[in-house]
Amino acid sequence: MTSQPQPLNQKTVRVGNAWRVLEYVRMSGSTSRAKVAAETGLTITTVHRLVADLQRRSLLGNGTTAEYGGVGRPAETFEFNAGVAHVVGIDVGNETTHAGLANLDGRIIADDQRPTAEIAADLPGGLEDVVERLQRSAGVRSGSLVALSVGVPGVIDLAGGVIVRASLHRPWDGLPLGSQLRRSLGVEIVVAQDDHLTALAELRRGACVGLRHALVVNVGKGIGAGIIVDGQPYYGSHAAAGRLGWFPMPLGADAASRTLEGISIDDTTDPTVAPASQLVTADGLIADYRRLGGRVDATGAIDVFRADEAGDPAAARAIDLFADRLGWCIGMAVALMDPQRVVIGGGISGSFDRLAPRLTERLSRVVLLPPSVVPSQLGIEAGVIGAIEAAMERADAWLLDAIAR
């Protein structure tokens, strides 16, 4: 038998109206009761009552400006109390972990950065320590945390918050990170692929605002992409969309007769190809630079770019090869999804100007209608910002509960 919809009662109506008021105030900033009534269609009497109730629950506070309603005293204003609770977003990178604690308006009020190696052996415990440090730094009580979002490089089971397969830190494979953090912290937890969170960040605050279809390619120690379809991040049936590192890439005409330093190729596979995760990354760039005769002791991609600026021909050739491969890799993804824009993020985005001409030329040879290619507006902070945005979505459940209590 099909269940019948439950009739509305007084509490249901009150909670719905209170949420309408709260949502309008969150979007509008400091405002007055008259404006809320005019925009929501609620009576001024109802708005007065709801605002008083929301203020009692510390969800609304006094406004920062006074508005004149015409004759008489200025109208009293109020605004959303974004500091009533907090969220934390953490971007667990292959090498560095960035974290931020934010008010419910998304404004970061404390941040933390440390080598991922410091927390890799006990990831849940390490993340709990990051949260505690952020709370101490911000001077907020631990009970004010209502949601935590963590981005991890790898394939994630979104429903269970399980790391199915990590990109580099293979001991994390199978780790039920979400349930462990939920049990220890007692708040809403999101565990997601880091590339998906950077796409959310660019969509909400960065280079993809207002776009319907876009591709956000992150290149650093690894390579991956966040996909935006119909104005929403796209995750795929297994939440594994965007694993560009799995793409096979050609090594070159002399691939069979040479060995790439630092790149291990399975003897049972085609020796003329390797996955993009080994070639179109910082380590791949460094390996090519050394193979081509580079003399600088490069420990990071930035060292190769600096050598190029100094006129090192090996660095120039390695970077051009890297740009060709990146353009080819992006071209395959563009051919599948036809985005309006491609955004280059990750650590390599800082060298976008050097890569762009050759990358876009290669892209134009792969696809008939190449989109524009731009650097990330958020840089290496995109992962943290995306995690905060995801945590704020979960914080809405806390706000609704706070209204209903």
CATH architecture of 10-80: Orthogonal Bundle (1.10)
Three-state SS for 54-92 is HHHCCCEEECCCCEECCCCCEECEEEECHHHCEEEEEEE
Q: Are strands 341-345 and 214-219 parallel, antiparallel or unpaired?
A: parallel
Is it the case that residue 268 has pLDDT exceeding 50?
no
User: Which one is the CATH code of 85-201+383-404: 3.30.420.40, 3.90.1150.10, 3.75.10.20, 3.90.180.10?
Assistant: 3.30.420.40
Task: Please name which of 44, 76, 46, 49 lies closest in space to residue 63, comparing C-alpha atoms.
Answer: 76
What is the C-alpha separation between 282 and 98, in angstroms, rounded? 19
How many CB atoms lie under 10 A from the CB of residue 359?
Answer: 25
Return the pLDDT at 75. Answer: 74
Q: Are strands 232-234 and 223-229 parallel, antiparallel or unpaired?
A: antiparallel
Give the three-class secondary structure for 229.
Answer: strand
**Tens digit of each residue's pLDDT (9 = 90 or more) over 322-347:** 999 999 999 999 999 999 999 999 99
Is it the case that residue 262 has pLDDT exceeding 50?
no
- Please indicate whether residue 267 or residue 248 has the higher confidence score (pLDDT): 248
What is the C-alpha separation between 289 and 312, in angstroms, rounded? 10
Question: How much is the average pLDDT of 375-379?
Answer: 95
Per-residue pLDDT band for 243 (boundaries 50, 70, 90) equals very high
- Identify the residue whose tokens are 């790898």: 154
Phi, psi (rounded to 5 degrees) for 92? -85, 95
User: Would the CA dihedral through 188, 192, 194, 198 be positive or negative?
Assistant: negative
Is it the case that residue 259 has pLDDT exceeding 70?
no
Is it the case that residue 5 has pLDDT exceeding 70?
no
> What DSSP character marks residue 223?
E
Is it the case that residue 111 has pLDDT exceeding 80?
yes
CA angle 3, 9, 11 (to 5 degrees): 120
Task: Please name which of 179, 186, 113, 100 lies closest in space to residue 390, comparing C-alpha atoms.
Answer: 100
pTM of the model as a whole: 0.88
Does the domain at 211-377 match CATH 3.40.50.20? Answer given as: no
Give the three-class secondary structure for 1.
Answer: coil
Sorted by where each begins, the domain ranges of the chain are 10-80, 85-201+383-404, 211-377
- Please indicate whether residue 379 or residue 264 has the higher confidence score (pLDDT): 379
Is it the case that residue 183 has pLDDT exceeding 90?
yes
Is it the case that residue 8 has pLDDT exceeding 70?
no
Give pairs for 135-138: CB < 8 Å, separation 24+.
Answer: 135/86, 135/101, 135/110, 137/101, 137/110, 137/111, 137/112, 138/86, 138/101, 138/109, 138/110
Return the pLDDT at 270. Answer: 61
Return the pLDDT at 257. Answer: 35
Q: Do domains 10-80 and 85-201+383-404 have the same CATH topology?
A: no
Is it the case that residue 182 has pLDDT exceeding 90?
yes
Per-residue pLDDT band for 273 (boundaries 50, 70, 90) equals confident
Return the pLDDT at 7. Answer: 53
**Tens digit of each residue's pLDDT (9 = 90 or more) over 39-98:** 999 999 999 999 999 999 999 998 875 555 555 556 789 999 999 999 999 999 999 999
Per-residue pLDDT band for 254 (boundaries 50, 70, 90) equals very low
What is the C-alpha separation between 223 and 332, in angstroms, rounded? 14
What is the C-alpha separation between 302 and 348, in angstroms, rounded? 8
